Amino acid sequence: MSTRTVATIATQRMRSASKAFGLLFLVSPLVGCLDQLLTVEAPGTVLEEDLGEPRHAAVLVKSSVADFECAFGHYIVTAGLFGNEFEDSQQTGSQWDYDRRALGTYAVWYATNPCDERLATYAPLATARWTADRMLTRLQEWSDAEVPDRTAMIATTAAYSGYSHLLLGEGFCTLAFDAGPELARQQVFQRAEERFTTAITAAQSTGRADILNMVRVGRARSRLNLGNKAGAADDARQVPEGFVKNAAFSAASIRSTNRVFRVNNRDEQVSVEAPFKNVQTGGVPDARVPVVNTGRVSTNQRTIMWTQAKYAGEGTPIPIARWAEAQLIIAEVQGGQTAVDIINKLRARVKLPSFASNDPQNILAEVIAERRRELFLESHHLGDRIRHNLPLDPPAGTPYLQGGLYGDQRCFPLPDAERLNNPSIRR
């Protein structure tokens, strides 16, 4: 399906819905065959021919942020299934391939399910990346006279574009953007760093401290993935203690919900996996990995339901970036006593025993372990497994509880929806 056909279909839907419901519909055609329609509430009817006008910049920027927040929740769950934080607990097999690391690139639920479906991976993040980049380009073309607070909006859209690129880079094996060539993960991290640098410049000139520190964390994370350790630590050191930037959620709709709570606690589609049950640090239960054994058997009649207690409801926010993450980036880069001191400072906040070592490998292993506990269900664990080449658990070839064998996939493969409909990589 061509991009032109996608845009035509989406525009027809938008015209009909706009007249019927008085909603602003933001068209988000992805490269290839994804013709998803995204909606955000607006104070009145905005016709499709008005979309893209400078006077609607503020609501369009908010819509692009909402696109990311929805995608963020999906990514945490699917990356959690793929990377050991969650296990599938359903009787039906629609999500088993996530859990057993055997994803088919053709699967609709993996490749093209939009944000308002039960579970999705590629389409929501690709949409968030597309809408943010689209708005960033337009804001850079418009003038301050046309768009009040234009520079602050540039900071915001560049920040969320950066995070969309970052999560895509951490989770996927390869990617392609805007009908372009297939890119390696490192090239995607470079694009993320470029967006974050744009956001830092704009945020500094407008006094947006929340965006500035958010993108400092994001650029540090991108640089860590790129192997620029000195640059990563430099960004991370500038993040003030106590900083947190959250993704906002509500129970108003499936699109706006905290996906972790909905899928695990409410719908019981997934259960917390063994490595994150009864986690102890120094022989003491670690409050940063709060999980509950409900004692209930799931619908597959095999799995005991374990639920997370980190997010209390469908409206609970999820951190996108925070000071503790920045500190752990410094710890990973610096090692030695600096890392030991950071670990102990984080542990002291939750009254955990201190750590002591002067062995570099032991310290790095503890930093990695500290990240999996401190950043539980915040989007990091799969990327950490890939970056540090951690062993697959269970190993490939191990029988899977619900049938078949565990695979050897470490990252999400590029879906056929992109590969087969992109002329730059079609083969």
Statement: residue 12 has pLDDT above 50? no
Mean pLDDT over 216-223 rounds to 98
pLDDT of residue 289: 98
Least confident range from 28-37, 208-217, 319-328: namely: 28-37
Cα–Cα distance measured from residue 274 to residue 297, given in angstroms and rounded to the nearest whole number: 15
- Residue 133 CB burial class (10 angstroms; 0-12, 13-18, ≥19): buried
What's the per-residue H, E or C state across 310-353? CCCCCCCCEEEEEHHHHHHHHHHHHCHHHHHHHHHHHHHCCCCC
Give the pLDDT confidence of 330-354 residue by residue, as tens digits.
999 999 999 999 999 999 999 999 9
State the DSSP code for 263: I
Closest CA to 94 of 85, 104, 86, 83: 104
> Is residue 29 very low, low, confident or very high in pLDDT (cuts 50, 70, 90)?
very low
pLDDT of residue 95: 83
pLDDT of residue 50: 52
User: Which residues are within 8 A (CB) of 58 and not within 5 positions of it... i.e. 6 or more apart?
Assistant: 149, 153
pLDDT of residue 20: 30
Give the pLDDT confidence of 41-77 residue by residue, as tens digits.
433 344 445 557 899 999 999 999 999 999 999 999 9
Statement: residue 152 has pLDDT above 80? yes
For the CA atoms of 139, 70, 125, 64, the dihedral, rounded to the nearest 10 degrees, stands at -10
**Which of 413 and 20 is assigned the larger pLDDT?**
413
Mean pLDDT over 192-198 rounds to 98
**DSSP symbols for 268-288:** -SEEE-GGGSS-EETTEE-TT
Mean pLDDT over 307-325 rounds to 98
Residue position matching structure tokens 């909606």: 39
Cα–Cα distance measured from residue 329 to residue 316, given in angstroms and rounded to the nearest whole number: 26
Statement: residue 86 has pLDDT above 60? yes
Query: Are the C-beta atoms of 206 and 166 separated by less than 8 Å?
Result: no
pLDDT of residue 106: 86
Query: Are the C-beta atoms of 223 and 231 separated by less than 8 Å?
Result: yes
pLDDT of residue 426: 67
pLDDT of residue 321: 98
Cα–Cα distance measured from residue 415 to residue 427, given in angstroms and rounded to the nearest whole number: 13
Q: Give the chain's mean pLDDT.
A: 88
What residue spans define the domains of the chain? 52-235+377-402+410-419
**Burial annotation 241-277 (CB, 10 A radius, 16+ → b, else e):** eebbbebebeeeeebbbbbbbbbbbeebbbbbbeebe
Closest CA to 196 of 223, 233, 159, 232: 159
Q: Which fold, 52-235+377-402+410-419?
A: 1.25.40
Show the CA angle centred on residue 232, arms to residues 359 and 154, nearest 5°.
160
pLDDT of residue 363: 98
Cα–Cα distance measured from residue 319 to residue 130, given in angstroms and rounded to the nearest whole number: 22
Mean pLDDT over 185-205 rounds to 98
Statement: residue 210 has pLDDT above 70? yes
Cα–Cα distance measured from residue 379 to residue 318, given in angstroms and rounded to the nearest whole number: 10
pLDDT of residue 108: 81
- Whole-angstrom CA distances from 394 to 83, 96, 368, 379, 407 are 10, 14, 19, 20, 9
